[in-house]
């Protein structure tokens, strides 16, 4: 990021912790910090130096927000105002937490190890809850449920209430409860009007039942890790006071992503000392759909009167054109606090815009462009393709595979969410505790042991009526003859195994126990028998799982790590192109960024528009802004005129966001592919082989169009497709009527994909056509042919 990333005072801070606590060390340190501060720009410096009282830092993309946070922590410690364990520092992701810890360590040395309250909201919430578990009806060794456990539990609750699970799916209940938890609402606090939105008025009741079940199972879901903290503090002011006392300084990263529960959590903690510093960017708020409240930022000054607000507007990441494109775009949003990013970098390359016929061509163009960069020795790790929805990834992946360009997909299922990991985990949980019903249920018939629904149902009934856990129910039932001989024997064997493994766990290191459990249970064998490509990957994951256990002192701490932190790090450090969604890209940066799929309906996403109206559109626009600002030197936007959505071909129209880019910062490129078709025309064999293919016909249609229509969005005079002139004043897909409308309503026309039709409406170069076969569509004028 900044040029001064290597700390000039890291030597001074690389002191052993004990020595650092001496006054002279502090004095020396603070002198060094002064030196360090001079390398910050004026605003950054103000954000770091204003230690006392509430501070809100509005940090635009690439303005050095992490740098401010870490320097601020160093500054608090160096100035002697608080010791590392008296600083609360929260992030959203484990990755951000890890990075912050590393960077703080880079500034102050090993003392950073003392920052035990640096972590995600959830990790810190867990830590607090374990200390006071009994006050919220849990034991300190409570389990943290994953989504699958949650869903299974939710199903049981729905069934217990005799509600038809078909009509009222558990998924839906889960998301409703989740949103209540995001808003900090306990079952009793759910507004009466909302309590009934599920299953004819049973919503709140089911929520309550679910919470009760969690307590019986000694379990918490992710929402509880925050919500139960709130309850703990509200019901036990003395406990709250303890933490208010302890956390002398509070720092919050990505504040725009906090939901109401997190906001309340922070507010309770910050109430007394008010030394809270929140860093965020309203223009990068892209998680509204999962409960993030941009309002938290907007109401900061109201909640903390007299707060210092610092705006970081100097961008150290991107070149001029990219920044002006991003700024111009985001300026269209109404609800924002308003910042203007500026850079002292050169203008650099313009943002490019390329139209493709369809998504396949789009993928091909991106692939070709990546190859060009690769040939120029551009590091692949500095290239990213950012898509709106993961469904877009497949075609791009296919293309990269064909070209042999190494790539990595970021995001996707987390390591600990994969079935094999959850299964292995369930085995260990059962070994660890005979009370873990959810875990037992998960693996009781994995691998198949002939213990199907009927048997499980009997166990459930028995367990419920006698009030014992499932495993205990099983133990008792195998002594009766209620079960048929086969399942009875299976169950007996399984229980015997679990007691054997539990005994083993008392003396053996946990990784060996795990290895034994997975083998003796037949779990590993199950995957070995399945000779598919992904079975091999799963076995590999299991190995990694067992291996990673060795680093933990005991089973308990390992289980915690897995449920909260564990993640896969495949192909990290290798030179690969990154492929991910725009959401996953936040916080990252690349020299070159490809942005495919800028089409109405896809981006901005129709569903976001339908569900959230203007707010939805603005969030989509922020997403576009995030995408553009990931680029350091090159941003390349693409759109396709035809895209398959849910299997059906749709004609699409370029995104309105394209219209919102400043013309001077954008260069409209021809799709070079059209010219490669043209060049095949010159050598006969290639030509004849491609004659009659859709691609060739497309090229023909395009060329015809181009020669008789001067309003074509493609530039007229480029011959190579590279370095095409900018079309000043004619950004494509204008929605005003300034161009000559070359089609009249009622006119017959022909479209390569949809066939013949009648023009039903004209809006600039977007034409609405009633196709004889395909129905009404809006298409770009340049893909229509006039019918004689």
Q: Which of 134, 344, 453, 481 is close enough to bind DNA by CB under 7 A?
A: 453
Distance CA(17)–CA(614), nearest Å, equals 53
Instruction: Please identify, among the stretches 508-516, 529-537, 576-584, 663-671, the one whose residues bind DNA according to the rule CB under 7 A.
Output: 576-584
445 binds DNA (CB under 7 A): yes
As measured in angstroms, the least distance from the Cβ of 366 to DNA is 18
Is position 630 annotated as part of the catalytic site? yes
Instruction: Please identify, among the stretches 270-278, 297-305, 508-516, 640-648, the one whose residues bind DNA according to the rule CB under 7 A.
Output: 640-648
Query: From the DSSP assignment, how many helices (H) and strands (E) are in the chain?
Result: 34, 21
Catalytic residue among 120, 244, 256, 284: 284
Cβ neighbourhood burial of 468 (10 Å; 0-12, 13-18, 19+): middle
Catalytic residue among 254, 257, 560, 619: 254
Q: Which of 139, 234, 299, 448 is close enough to bind DNA by CB under 7 A?
A: 448
646 binds DNA (CB under 7 A): yes
Instruction: Please identify, among the stretches 117-125, 245-253, 423-431, 590-598, the one whose residues bind DNA according to the rule CB under 7 A.
Output: 117-125
| Shorter beta-carbon distance to DNA: residue 336 or 388 | 388
Structural tokens at position 477? 């039932």
Q: Which of 45, 67, 122, 576 is close enough to bind DNA by CB under 7 A?
A: 122
Distance CA(491)–CA(477), nearest Å, equals 9
As measured in angstroms, the least distance from the Cβ of 614 to DNA is 14
Report CA-CA distances (Å) from 394 to 92, 391, 699.
28, 6, 25
Distance CA(736)–CA(732), nearest Å, equals 11
| Shorter beta-carbon distance to DNA: residue 8 or 450 | 450
The backbone region for 414, taken as left when phi is positive above 0, alpha when psi lies in -120 to 50, beta otherwise, is beta
**Residue pair 230/220 in contact by the 8 Å Cβ criterion:** no
Q: Which of 608, 731, 762, 769 is close enough to bind DNA by CB under 7 A?
A: 608
| Shorter beta-carbon distance to DNA: residue 263 or 702 | 263
92 binds DNA (CB under 7 A): yes
Number of residues that bind DNA (CB under 7 A): 41
Is position 524 annotated as part of the catalytic site? no
| Shorter beta-carbon distance to DNA: residue 453 or 740 | 453
Q: Which of 65, 583, 621, 705 is close enough to bind DNA by CB under 7 A?
A: 583
Longest dimension (CA), the chain: 91
Q: How far apart are the first and last CA of the chain?
A: 59
Cis previous bond, 447, omega within 30: yes
Q: Which of the residues 394 through 423 are near DNA (CB under 7 A)? A: 411, 414, 417
The DSSP code sequence of 199-238 is TTTTHHHHHHHHHHHHHHTTEE-TTHHHHHHHHHHHH-HH
Residue with tokens 């954008």: 666
| Shorter beta-carbon distance to DNA: residue 307 or 579 | 579
Instruction: Please identify, among the stretches 76-84, 109-117, 187-195, 642-650, the one whose residues bind DNA according to the rule CB under 7 A.
Output: 642-650
Instruction: Please identify, among the stretches 310-318, 523-531, 605-613, 663-671, the one whose residues bind DNA according to the rule CB under 7 A.
Output: 605-613
166 binds DNA (CB under 7 A): yes
Catalytic residue among 65, 103, 364, 586: 65
Q: Which of 296, 315, 605, 782 is close enough to bind DNA by CB under 7 A?
A: 605
Distance CA(211)–CA(217), nearest Å, equals 10
Helices (DSSP H) in 59-169: which residue ranges? 65-78, 94-108, 121-131, 147-160
607 binds DNA (CB under 7 A): yes
531 binds DNA (CB under 7 A): no
94 binds DNA (CB under 7 A): yes
Structural tokens at position 491? 């169950």
Distance CA(394)–CA(28), nearest Å, equals 56
| Shorter beta-carbon distance to DNA: residue 528 or 737 | 528
| Shorter beta-carbon distance to DNA: residue 20 or 103 | 103
Catalytic residue among 630, 633, 705, 734: 630
Is position 358 annotated as part of the catalytic site? no
As measured in angstroms, the least distance from the Cβ of 289 to DNA is 4
Question: Which own/partner contact pairs does 673-681 have at CB distance under 8 Å and 24+ positions apart?
Answer: 673/356, 673/361, 673/364, 673/365, 673/368, 674/699, 674/702, 674/703, 674/721, 675/719, 675/720, 675/721, 678/703
555 phi, psi to nearest 5 deg: -60, -45
**Residue pair 393/579 in contact by the 8 Å Cβ criterion:** yes
Per-residue burial over 298-314, b if 16 or more Cβ lie within 10 Å, else e, is eebeebbeebbebbbbb
Q: What would the x/- binding string for DNA be over residues 125 to 164, using CB under 7 A? A: ----------------------x-----------------
Distance CA(559)–CA(548), nearest Å, equals 11
Distance CA(473)–CA(461), nearest Å, equals 9
559 binds DNA (CB under 7 A): no
Q: Which of 331, 391, 403, 741 is close enough to bind DNA by CB under 7 A?
A: 391
As measured in angstroms, the least distance from the Cβ of 455 to DNA is 5
Instruction: Please identify, among the stretches 272-280, 453-461, 709-717, 755-763, the one whose residues bind DNA according to the rule CB under 7 A.
Output: 453-461
| CB proximity list for 682: less than 8 A, separation 6 or greater | none
567 binds DNA (CB under 7 A): yes
167 binds DNA (CB under 7 A): no
614 binds DNA (CB under 7 A): no
| Shorter beta-carbon distance to DNA: residue 55 or 595 | 595
| Shorter beta-carbon distance to DNA: residue 95 or 378 | 95
Distance CA(592)–CA(432), nearest Å, equals 49
280 binds DNA (CB under 7 A): no
584 binds DNA (CB under 7 A): yes
Structural tokens at position 439? 């875990």
Q: Is 60 assigned to a binding site?
A: yes
As measured in angstroms, the least distance from the Cβ of 492 to DNA is 15
Q: What share of the chain is helix, strand, coil (3-state, %, to 5)?
A: 50, 15, 35
Instruction: Please identify, among the stretches 206-214, 421-429, 570-578, 581-589, the one whose residues bind DNA according to the rule CB under 7 A.
Output: 581-589
Residue with tokens 């950004």: 731
Instruction: Please identify, among the stretches 38-46, 133-141, 233-241, 578-586, the one whose residues bind DNA according to the rule CB under 7 A.
Output: 578-586
Is position 253 annotated as part of the catalytic site? yes
Angle at 419 between CA 414 and CA 424, to 5 degrees: 105
222 binds DNA (CB under 7 A): yes
Distance CA(528)–CA(534), nearest Å, equals 11
**Could you tell me which residues are annotated as the binding site for ATP?**
59-66
- Please give the residue ranges that form the binding site for DNA (CB under 7 A): 92-95, 120, 122-123, 147, 166, 222, 289-290, 388-391, 411, 414, 417, 445, 448, 450-455, 487, 564, 567, 580-581, 583-584, 605, 607-608, 611, 644, 646-647
Active site residues: 65-66, 253-254, 284, 630
């Amino acid at each position: 990021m900044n040029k001064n990333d290597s700390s000039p005072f890291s030597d001074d801070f690389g002191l052993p912790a004990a020595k650092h606590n001496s006054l002279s060390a502090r004095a020396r340190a603070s002198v060094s910090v002064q030196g360090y501060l001079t390398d910050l720009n004026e605003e950054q410096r103000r954000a770091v130096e204003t230690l006392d009282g509430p501070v809100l830092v509005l940090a635009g993309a690439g303005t050095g927000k992490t740098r401010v946070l870490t320097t601020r922590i160093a500054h608090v410690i160096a100035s002697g105002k608080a010791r590392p364990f008296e600083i609360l520092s929260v992030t959203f992701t484990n990755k951000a937490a890890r990075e912050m810890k590393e960077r703080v360590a880079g500034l102050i040395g090993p003392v950073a190890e003392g920052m035990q309250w640096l972590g995600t909201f959830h990790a810190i919430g867990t830590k607090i809850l374990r200390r006071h578990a009994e006050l919220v009806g849990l034991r300190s060794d409570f389990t943290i449920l994953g989504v699958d456990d949650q869903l299974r539990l939710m199903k049981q609750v729905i069934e217990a209430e005799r509600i038809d699970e078909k009509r009222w799916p558990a998924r839906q209940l889960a998301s409703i409860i989740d949103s209540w938890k995001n808003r900090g609402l306990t079952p009793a606090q759910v507004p009466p009007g909302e309590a009934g939105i599920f299953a004819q008025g049973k919503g709140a009741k089911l929520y309550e039942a679910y919470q009760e079940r969690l307590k019986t199972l000694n379990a918490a879901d992710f929402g509880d890790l925050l919500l139960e903290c709130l309850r703990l503090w509200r019901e036990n002011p003395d406990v709250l006071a303890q933490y208010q006392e302890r956390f002398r300084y509070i720092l919050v990263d990505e504040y725009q992503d906090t939901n109401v529960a997190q906001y309340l959590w922070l507010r309770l903690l910050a109430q007394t000392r008010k030394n809270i510093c929140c860093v965020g960017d309203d223009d990068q708020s892209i998680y509204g759909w999962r409960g993030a409240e941009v309002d938290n930022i907007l109401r900061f000054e109201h909640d903390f009167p007299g707060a210092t607000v610092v705006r970081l507007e100097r961008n150290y990441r991107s070149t001029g054109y990219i920044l002006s494109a991003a700024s111009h775009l985001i300026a269209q949003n109404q609800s924002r606090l308003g910042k203007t990013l500026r850079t002292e970098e050169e203008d650099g390359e313009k943002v490019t815009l390329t139209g493709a016929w369809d998504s396949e061509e789009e993928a091909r163009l991106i692939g070709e462009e990546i190859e060009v960069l690769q040939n120029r020795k551009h590091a692949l790790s500095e290239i990213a393709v950012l898509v709106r929805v993961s469904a877009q990834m497949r075609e791009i992946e296919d293309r990269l595979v064909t070209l042999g360009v190494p790539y990595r997909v970021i995001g996707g299922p987390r390591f600990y969410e994969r079935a094999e990991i959850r299964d292995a985990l369930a085995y260990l949980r059962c070994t660890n505790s005979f009370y873990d019903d959810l875990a037992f249920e998960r693996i009781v018939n994995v691998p198949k042991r002939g213990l199907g629904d009927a048997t499980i149902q009997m166990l459930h009934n028995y367990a419920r009526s006698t009030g014992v856990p499932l495993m205990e129910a099983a133990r008792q039932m195998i002594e009766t003859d209620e079960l048929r001989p086969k399942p009875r024997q299976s169950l007996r064997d399984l229980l015997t195994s679990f007691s054997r493994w539990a005994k083993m766990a008392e003396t053996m290191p946990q990784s060996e126990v795990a290895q034994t459990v997975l083998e003796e249970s037949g779990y590993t064998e199950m995957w070995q028998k399945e000779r598919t490509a992904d079975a091999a990957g799963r076995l590999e994951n299991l190995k990694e799982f067992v291996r990673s256990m060795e680093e933990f002192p005991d089973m308990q701490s390992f289980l915690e790590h897995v449920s909260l932190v564990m993640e896969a790090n495949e192909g990290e450090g290798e030179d690969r192109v990154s492929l991910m969604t725009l959401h996953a890209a936040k916080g990252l940066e690349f020299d070159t960024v490809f942005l495919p799929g800028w089409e109405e309906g896809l981006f901005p996403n129709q569903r976001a528009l339908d569900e959230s109206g203007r707010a939805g559109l603005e969030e989509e626009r922020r997403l576009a802004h995030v995408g553009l600002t990931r680029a350091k030197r090159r941003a390349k936007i693409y759109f396709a005129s035809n895209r398959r959505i849910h299997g059906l071909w749709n004609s699409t129209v370029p995104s309105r966001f394209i219209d919102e880019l400043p013309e001077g910062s954008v260069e409209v490129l021809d799709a070079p592919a059209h010219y490669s078709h043209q060049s095949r025309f010159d050598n006969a064999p290639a030509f004849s082989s491609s004659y009659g293919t859709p691609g060739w016909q497309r090229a023909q249609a395009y060329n015809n169009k181009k020669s008789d229509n001067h309003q074509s969005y493609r530039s007229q005079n480029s011959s190579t497709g590279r370095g095409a002139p900018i079309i000043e004043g004619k950004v494509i897909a204008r929605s005003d009527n300034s161009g000559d409308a070359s089609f009249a309503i009622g006119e017959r026309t022909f479209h390569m994909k949809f066939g013949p039709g009648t023009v039903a409406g004209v809006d600039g170069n977007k034409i609405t056509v009633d196709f004889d076969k395909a129905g009404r569509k809006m298409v770009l004028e340049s893909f229509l042919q006039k019918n004689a």
